[in-house]
Amino acid sequence: MTAAASAPRLTLRAFIARHRISAEAFLIDERPDSLMADMPAGSRHWRVVLHESKSRHQMTLYFSQGPAIEREPAAEDVLDCLASDWSSYDNARDFAAWASDLGYDTDSRKAEAIWRAVCRQAHQLERFLGAALVRELAYNVERL
Using CA atoms of 117, 121, 122, 128 in order, give the dihedral in degrees to the nearest 10.
170
Tens digit of each residue's pLDDT (9 = 90 or more) over 45-69: 999 999 998 888 999 999 999 999 9
User: What are the extents of the domains in the chain?
Assistant: 3-142
- Cα–Cα distance list, 136 to 3, 6, 11, 142 (Å): 18, 17, 11, 10
Gap between the Cα atoms of 16 and 22, Å rounded: 8
Tens digit of each residue's pLDDT (9 = 90 or more) over 87-114: 999 999 999 999 999 999 999 999 999 9
